[in-house]
Structure 1
Amino acid sequence: MVTSRGLPNHQALAQLAQQFPELEISSVEACLTFLDTTAEVHQAMEAHFARYNLSMGKFTLLIQLFAASEKGLTPSEFAERANVTRATITGLLDGLEREDLVKRQPYPQDRRKLTIILTNKGRELITQMLPDHFCRTTNMMSNLTATEKQTFIKLLSKLSAGTSAMRDI
């Protein structure tokens, strides 16, 4: 009744659909496969970032700072871009600062605010890891053709548009 990856197989879903007519088998199969694959990708990414003593969250902040160049970003800009709370960002920044990868400094136009910038050590780490990161990302996506990658992006956008169905009351 379950696949080798622990997902209910088509037969198991068909049996459930007899009891729950709302169950549309292809939708549930697609969702379960997506969730399973997402978990696998997430585990692979975490293992990759661990090679550099980073988490996905810390990497996200470092790459944003790297792209922002010398001007840096405020904690609220990070939170907005990552769609997380300021408290989450503060915890990540505290860890990155302890590791001497980022530095907090007063915001130029308002000394009550902070700007976060990369330290030399942080810039060196990102510069060192990005070639490996981009190669691994390319290899992970190598089973898809260029057309499939574009289709995948479009499909994920469509899926994202439907996520409110799970959130809304």
Structure 2
Amino acid sequence: MADEQGADQGAEATFPNGADNEPQVMMIAQYVKDLSFENPNSPAIYQAPEQPKIDVQFNIGSQQAADDVFEVMLKIEVAATFGDTLGYAVELVYAGLFGLRNIPADQMQPFLFAEAPRLLFPFARRVVSDAIRDGNFSPLVLEPIDFGTLYLQQAAQQAELATAEPAGEA
């Protein structure tokens, strides 16, 4: 037992303080990058007899902002129609700055397009709900999204397309 403890301490000694080789992820900031709320048919829309049909669209983008710093943008678009009439439209780009150091290249995309959006989503969801409520409509509570599964599905689709293209050209 004493030998095992000594071996563990020896392993720790090979990585002196200040060694900078471990993967590190840090959220530096999160913010509303762009927000738009439109209520083009007010005040008549408040007298609409039916419930609105809600359409929600998501998009994720990423760009390098500096060395080891990436901006991830979660875009949410919501449109509510009452029959053929637009009740409201919300567009939000909610972003976060993430510091990423010593992340393997094969793990960078999954983090930027699955994990980072998962971290940003609860805050973006609140901004959208508050904007809709402030427009005097019932708040919209967006269900949680499994960004990891969506990322894997999109990666599989892109792999299918990549393997199908050469066969189509021949």
TM-score, normalized by length of structure 2?
0.22
Q: Which has the higher strand share?
A: 2
Structure exhibiting the larger radius of gyration computed from Cα positions: 2
Higher RCO (CA < 8 A, seq sep 6+):
2
